[in-house]
Amino acid sequence: MAVDAPAAPAAQPGQTRRIRRPQWGTLLSATRTPRGAIGLGLASLVVLVAVVGPLVAPNSPDALVTLAFGKPSGEFPLGGDSLGRDVLSRVLDGGRALLVMATCATALGVAGGAAAGVSAAYLRGVSDGIIMRAVDVILSFPQLVFALLLLSLLGPKLWLITIAVGVSHGPQVARVLRSATLDLSERDFVKAAELQGMRPVKVMWKEILPNLVSPLMVEAGLRLTYSIVIIAGLAFLGFGQPPPAASWGTMINENRDGLSLDPWAVIVPALLIALLTIGTNTFTDAFARVAIGVDRRPDEAALIEDLSQGLGE
């Protein structure tokens, strides 16, 4: 699998040459694989709908213009929703917040998790112990349950949902990057930097992090998919933008009572969420195959590696 990949971050131990090739080449070659092209195409299509949609929506998403669960007609191609609003206009309007929140939550989780994982592995000792215990504690909550716990007191504020989802990603990212850093920090170029008197923070930033770009990007892709799943799921459960705002997750829940009258009010938002997550996940899979050459998802691999390390002690 992908042996001829242009950038292979897993260099041999003892090799001093740093691998700091720009990752854009890897991204580009991922888009040339069939999986990568399909994934990118699907995700771009949905992003296009979410971004351009509000500009071309024929009606106001909040206006009551047709019958509740009205059948699709020439004027309202997807029919009416539970209150008689135009489903097409609400679909076109309902993706932006999801995309923005998922992107921010992913950035937060990957940045925080990377900082924690790299420092735990590089600093070792007490820092490692404290960071990894904290990781264990957050990992003991299913991600959605963790988000619900935080939302239970402050109410479903959008910034709080974003932060809660970001924080719940942190531990998984930290685990993956910790095991990647453990290998790296024994390399000669890291030792050389240390001998030159470079401070630990600078070693991590200048020497270790640039060599972790590929696993970081794979993590970012996986976390983006999960962020979309969790944020759309919370909206579905009723913890999202307050009404009357349109969002795909909320629409599925609002309109499922009328499934036998106007199924499109449920099918179209569900399909858009599905295409988006299949797109991001498939592209991430293609990128992982090109960049790291793994067949197994890195989060599963790291978890299993972690388990065996814990047991081997």
Summarize as ranges the residues that interact with other proteins (CB under 8 A): 133, 136-145, 148-155, 225, 228-229, 232-233, 236-239, 249, 252, 256, 259-260, 263, 266-267, 270, 273-274, 277-278, 280-282, 285, 295-296, 300, 303-304, 307-308, 310-313
Minimal distance, residue 245 CB to other proteins, in Å? 18
Contact 184, 98 (CB under 8 A): no
How many other C-beta atoms lie within 10 A of the C-beta of residue 271?
A: 14
Q: What are the residues whose beta carbons fall under 8 Å from the beta carbon of 271, sequence distance 6 or more? A: none
Q: What is the rounded CA–CA span in Å between residue 216 and residue 213?
A: 5
Phi/psi for 9 (5° steps) reads -70, -20
Minimal distance, residue 34 CB to other proteins, in Å? 11
Minimal distance, residue 25 CB to other proteins, in Å? 24
Minimal distance, residue 123 CB to other proteins, in Å? 18
What percent helix, strand, coil does the chain show, rounded to 5? 70, 0, 30
| β-pair partners for 195 | none
* Amino acid (1-letter code) at residue 262: D
Minimal distance, residue 255 CB to other proteins, in Å? 10
Say if residue 171 is preceded by a cis peptide, omega within 30 of 0. no
Half-sphere exposure of 83 (CA within 13 A, CB side): 13
Closer to other proteins by CB, 155 or 197: give it.
Answer: 155
DSSP-derived 3-state class of residue 246 = coil
Q: What is the rounded CA–CA span in Å between residue 46 and residue 52?
A: 10
Closer to other proteins by CB, 193 or 303: give it.
Answer: 303
Contact 128, 135 (CB under 8 A): no
Q: What is the rounded CA–CA span in Å between residue 105 and residue 215?
A: 18
How many other C-beta atoms lie within 10 A of the C-beta of residue 44?
A: 13
Closer to other proteins by CB, 71 or 296: give it.
Answer: 296
Q: Which two tokens stand for residue 273?
A: 């969420």
Closer to other proteins by CB, 141 or 189: give it.
Answer: 141
Minimal distance, residue 22 CB to other proteins, in Å? 28
Q: What is the rounded CA–CA span in Å between residue 289 and residue 217?
A: 12
Minimal distance, residue 106 CB to other proteins, in Å? 15
Closer to other proteins by CB, 28 or 149: give it.
Answer: 149
Closer to other proteins by CB, 53 or 221: give it.
Answer: 221
Minimal distance, residue 254 CB to other proteins, in Å? 12
Closer to other proteins by CB, 56 or 149: give it.
Answer: 149
Minimal distance, residue 46 CB to other proteins, in Å? 12
Closer to other proteins by CB, 115 or 232: give it.
Answer: 232
Q: Which two tokens stand for residue 42?
A: 């699907």
Closer to other proteins by CB, 27 or 160: give it.
Answer: 160
Contact 235, 248 (CB under 8 A): yes
